Amino acid sequence: MSVLVAVVAAVAVSAAACGSSDDEGGEETSAEAWADDVCSSVSSWDSAVTQAGSTLRDPRDLSVNEARDAVGDVVDATSTLVTEVSDLGPPDTEAGEDAQALLETLADDLEAEADVLSDAMDTDADTASELLADTSTITGALSTMSADIRTTLEGIEGLDGAAELQDALAGSESCQQVGVN
């Protein structure tokens, strides 16, 4: 399960695409609120993946239900992340509509990978080890999710007119908590 731990670490790294901190204080702008919401959602998902990684670290000590529950928690957290980023709406910035479109694509990609996780858990296994025998499916889905998040954040930074979003992501406490410097 060390691969799962590596994937969990990659989630934190994925947020590093946000930029660096430059908190100036004052009233929060639309871009800043949006950045906080995005990174808070990613942080919650990251916490669920980290917890699942801790649970799944040694499948010999797990029951089938514990293993299913751990992966199910990731699926649930992914569903929550998808809902939250889909419900944000675009920030009121020059690149806001394009940034939201990238989040919508991310939501679709994450839903597809959550389906892969659900399918991997939908077996007649008698032991957790049997259930997790195809760890490559699970870790592959988690790796893809992490890469999708990283690619989306990098895409937002690269949008024409995204300077305000870049600054907001760099200054967001939530983004800093998931690994933004």
Locus of tokens 């592959």: 140
Q: How many other C-beta atoms can be found within 10 angstroms of the C-beta atom of residue 107?
A: 21
pTM beyond 0.85, yes or no: no
Residues 6+ apart with CB under 8 A from 119: none
Mean pLDDT of 12-19: 34
By CB neighbour count within 10 A (0-12 exposed, 13-18 middle, 19+ buried), where does 2 fall? exposed
Mean pLDDT of 158-165: 90
Tokens of 147: 């890469």
**Residue 19 predicted with pLDDT over 80:** no
Which one, of 140, 155, 141, 143, lies nearest residue 105 by Cα?
A: 155
Q: What is the pLDDT of residues 57-105, one digit of tens each?
A: 877 778 888 888 999 999 999 999 999 999 999 999 999 999 999 999 9
Q: State the number of CA atoms in the 13 A half-sphere of 58 facing the CB.
A: 2
Residues 6+ apart with CB under 8 A from 12: 46, 178, 179
